Every structure is written in C-alpha cells, then in structure tokens.
Amino acid sequence: MLEKGLKNTLTIKVTTDKTAKVMGSGTLDVFATPSMVALMEQTAAESVQPLLDAGVTSVGTKINVEHLAADPVGIEVVCESTLTEIDGRKLCFDIIVRDSHGIVGKAYHERFLIKSESFMSKTNAKL
C-alpha cells in the first residue's frame, strides 16, 4: 500500500554517456540536466512500482527541476525521492540529488498511476 513518506535512494556514477556534451544539452563534459531528470524519475518510479497491482505502473507527468551545481565525469551522485502526496491516481514527490560536496539538484515531480495495457492501447492508436 502506498503511503506518504515513502522514500527511495539510487546512487550512480557520472559517466561520459550522461554528460551534457553527449546528451546534446550543452558542450561540456558535466552531468547533464536531462540525465539528472532521468535519475530523478527513475528513483521515484522505482519507489512505488513494487507496491502496485499487476498491470499497473506510473508515468511521469510533471517535473519542476533546479540544477544547482555541476558534476564531473567520475563523481558519484545520490538521488533521494520522497512521496509527499497521494491524490487519487496522482503521486507527488520531492526529490534531491547530492554529491559529496552538497546539493546538485532539487525537483517537485508528479506521476500518475495507469493501467499499462489500456494506456499502451490508447497510445498505439495514434499510429
């Protein structure tokens, strides 16, 4: 059962494939904002998935991000998500990414619970 306060933590090493230069979001070999956002969404999604019924998953619908510090290739970053609100199918998270020097990024993130089969059927109908 989902409850407010649910937390999850993921730790990754910044690798070349996660840089702004490779992701196309900049020209430097630093942790890219799109890579940080993906880590944030993954951390939140993985926190709830084991608690959901079969055939149910969550999809990201909103994220408000602040990328506050640059990180070089080789450094480890830790992402922590906290489920702060449950409103029907809407789940709200506060997320913080840190390195050994302090806060790298913060976000408010919303996910919605959906039935995978009907969601994909509706999505694929666009083709």
Domains of the chain: 7-122 (3.10.129.10)
- The pLDDT of residue 91 is 98
Identify the burial level of 107 via C-beta atoms within 10 angstroms of its C-beta, where 0-12 means exposed, 13-18 middle and 19 or more buried. Answer: buried
Mean pLDDT of the chain: 98
| % the chain with pLDDT above 70 | 100
Mean pLDDT of 97-123: 98
Taking the complete model, does pTM exceed 0.75, yes or no? Answer: yes
Q: Taking Cα atoms as reference points, which of 8, 14, 87 lies closest to residue 41?
A: 8
Mean pLDDT of 77-91: 98
With cut-offs at 50, 70 and 90, classify the pLDDT of residue 1: confident
- The pLDDT of residue 65 is 98
